[in-house]
Amino acid sequence: MDRLDRFSLFAIIILLISSLALMGNHMGEARSRLDDQQKGTSKSPVINSKIEHKVKSIRDILDGGNLVKAEILAKELIQEHLLEGEPRILMGDIFMRKHEPIMAVLEYKEAIDINPDYLDRQTPMFQGKKMEVAVKEALSEIERNIEKNPEDKSMKKYRKDVYYLQRRLAGGCS
- Rounded to a whole number, what is the distance in angstroms from the first to the last CA of the chain? 67
> Phi, psi at residue 8, to the nearest 5°?
-65, -45
The answer on pLDDT for 36 being more than 90 is no
**Low-confidence winner among 5-19, 24-38, 101-115, 136-150 (lowest mean pLDDT):** 24-38
Contact 101, 134 (CB under 8 A): yes
**pLDDT mean over 88-95:** 93
Cβ within 8 Å of residue 125, ≥6 positions away: 46, 115, 117, 118
Mean pLDDT of 30-50: 51
Note the pLDDT of residue 48: 67
Phi, psi of 152 (to 5 degrees): -70, 105
Mean pLDDT score, 35-57: 62
| Mean pLDDT value across the chain | 84
Task: Give the confidence band of 29 by pLDDT, cuts at 50, 70, 90.
Answer: low
How large a percentage of the chain has pLDDT more than 70? 86
**In the predicted model, what is the mean pLDDT of residues 137-159?**
91
Taking the whole predicted model, whether its pTM rises above 0.75 is answered as no
Q: How many C-beta atoms surround the C-beta of residue 109 within 10 A? A: 20
Res 35: pLDDT: 52
Q: Is the pLDDT of residue 93 over 50?
A: yes
169 pLDDT higher than 60: yes
Q: How far apart are CA 47 and CA 44, in angstroms?
A: 9
Judged against a pLDDT cut of 50, whether residue 43 lies above it is answered with no
Give CA–CA dist 114/85, Å, rounded. 6
pLDDT of residue 79: 92
The Cα diameter of the chain in Å comes to 95
